[in-house]
Amino acid sequence: MKEMRKVLELSDYEHRVMIEALADRRNDFIEEQKPAEDVSDLLLKVIDAPDKKRRERDRCHEER
């Protein structure tokens, strides 16, 4: 069965908030001596997520 994936579009502000929230959660896990690998992996995915390139057609629609 094919793995389902989710795609989120975040503003720069939302991206920073998500990174901060995941980092805080990771730190909580470490402080509680719980495994934090899953949160760390997710944090790296969010940090390394590529920017969405806007197509020329999309910009044309917004100008109308």
Q: Count of CB atoms within 10 A of residue 39's CB?
A: 19
Give the mean pLDDT of 30-54.
93
| Cα–Cα nearest to 11, from 49, 63, 61, 55 | 49
**Torsions phi, psi of 35, nearest 5?**
-65, 130
Residue with the larger pLDDT of the pair 54 and 32: 32
| Cα–Cα nearest to 40, from 28, 26, 29 | 26
pLDDT of residue 45: 95
